[in-house]
Amino acid sequence: MIKEEMVNRVALAVSDTVLNVANLTGGYSIIINSNFAYVDAVNDVNFYAKNDEVLGIAGESGCGKSTLLKILYGYTKPPLIVKKGNVILKINEQTIDILTLKDRTSIWWRYISYIPQNSMNVLNPIQRIREHFIETIRTHIDVDIDEAYKMAREYVESVGLSKEILNAYPHQLSGGMRQRVVITLALMLKPRVVLADEPTTAVDVVVQRGVLQMLLDKQRELRNTLILVTHDMGVQAMVTNRILIMYAGKGVELGATNDIFEDPLHPYTKALIESLPRIGDKTLRRGLAGQPPDLINPPPGCRFHPRCSYAMDICRREEPPIIKIGKERFVSCWLYVKR
Ligand code: SF4
């Protein structure tokens, strides 16, 4: 029998939490036809990430995954704005709210790192790879250039890359190699939390496997937290311990990866899982009918209601609360509210 329990949105965290996200709301302030508009990309999102785990964030394109990651990193430059919420990071035995920090760069790389989408293109084309490493090391560690270069050589070799790449310019490396360089840079100072935004999307399948393996090997070695954004549910199934499912800027379900795949609760999660191909099953897989909503003018109530075959009157009027179902399983849907 499923036990249903209303939970306080700001009190989702468990004891081994390293990052606690509460009521996070942010989006883009843009101008359309000379008028200001607000794209409500992340709305009242709540979740937590634990030490030594891979947490996946999944959902279709435009659901707010990448925006959420930028906000978690504190990379909030206009037009991206944060309206409310907390991103609490545990550093040693202290906690800080990343969004209230005056100098967020003080925690970047060392405590929290970010691998942006298409990161293979973020390297400065007129700098050799070694200059990227030396600059990163010297920003955070008080060493001279020679010592930083020595550290870079040792580090690059320790992750299985040739030290020769340090002398190359980015354009002299393949896309997969550039991706590995960016990941190596992001992990070099052993951050407690690594945010990776679609790290395998822009590379071919063979390179994808190597890039993922590199991320996972480092996560296991450092026993830190990898938050992995990918719309690829196959990757989610293979590498994550837990998954947050997002729809139209909302966190709609959070739980252990096995539970999400074996018994999806939210109608959107069910549709995502049902659309996946299965070996030996030749029945036609159907995609979800309809389109995600316009986030400048999202629908009232549950944002999924125009596409939901279970929608009830209350779904069209009121936002569903977050319901705790069993241990560390959360869903935001009126179907699970006892009335
Ligand atoms: Fe569907 Fe209603 Fe649940 Fe939204 S709250 S997913 S519309 S049943």
Q: Where along the chain do its domains lie?
A: 4-111+191-277+289-336, 119-190
Give the position, in ligand 1's atom list, of the atom nearest the Cα of 310.
8
Count CB-CB contacts under 10 A for residue 15: 6
What local confidence, expressed as pLDDT, does residue 237 receive? 93
Outline where 89-144 has alpha helix (H).
129-140
Tell me how far CA of residue 318 lies from CA of 104, 183, 254, 327, in angstroms: 36, 42, 21, 26
Residue type, 220: R
CA of 307 to the centre of ligand 1 (A): 9
Strands 250-256 and 242-247: antiparallel
Tell me the β-bridge partners of 38: 29
CB crowding 27-51: b at 16 or more within 10 Å, else e: bbeeeeeeeeeebbbbbbbbbbbbe
- The pTM (predicted TM-score) of the whole model is 0.92
In the chain the first and final C-alpha atoms are separated, in Å, by 17
Measured by CA distance, the residue closest to atom 3 of ligand 1 is 333
Strands 250-256 and 330-332: antiparallel
Give CA–CA dist 31/247, Å, rounded: 24
Tokens representing 53 are: 């785990």
What local confidence, expressed as pLDDT, does residue 14 receive? 59
CA of 333 to the centre of ligand 1 (A): 5
Mutation test residue for ligand 1: of 334, 336, 337, 339, the one with most atoms within 8 Å of CB: 334
What local confidence, expressed as pLDDT, does residue 13 receive? 52
Count CB-CB contacts under 10 A for residue 10: 14
Tokens representing 256 are: 């252990």
Mutation test residue for ligand 1: of 315, 318, 325, the one with most atoms within 8 Å of CB: 315
CATH code of domain 4-111+191-277+289-336? 3.40.50.300
Give the position, in ligand 1's atom list, of the atom nearest the Cα of 316.
7
What local confidence, expressed as pLDDT, does residue 211 receive? 86
Residue where the block lists tokens 């084309």: 125
Tens digit of pLDDT at every position of the chain (339 positions) = 333 444 444 344 556 899 999 999 999 999 999 999 999 999 999 999 999 999 999 999 899 999 999 999 999 999 999 999 999 999 988 999 999 999 998 899 999 999 988 777 789 999 999 999 999 899 888 999 999 999 999 989 888 889 999 999 999 998 888 888 999 999 999 999 999 999 887 677 777 888 899 899 999 999 999 999 998 898 999 999 999 999 999 999 999 999 999 999 999 999 999 888 777 777 777 778 889 999 999 999 999 999 999 999 999 999 999 999 988 999 999 999 987
CA of 309 to the centre of ligand 1 (A): 8
Give the position, in ligand 1's atom list, of the atom nearest the Cα of 314.
2
Tell me how far CA of residue 177 lies from CA of 182, 191, 195, 217, 314, in angstroms: 9, 21, 19, 17, 51
What local confidence, expressed as pLDDT, does residue 15 receive? 67
Tell me the β-bridge partners of 225: 53, 193
Residues in contact with ligand 1 by the CB-under-6-Å rule are 266-267, 302, 304-305, 308, 310-312, 315, 320, 333-335
Outline where the chain has alpha helix (H).
65-73, 129-140, 145-158, 175-187, 205-222, 233-239, 257-262, 267-274, 313-317
Give the position, in ligand 1's atom list, of the atom nearest the Cα of 252.
6
Task: Give the orientation angle of helix 145-158 with respect to helix 129-140, to 10 degrees.
Answer: 110
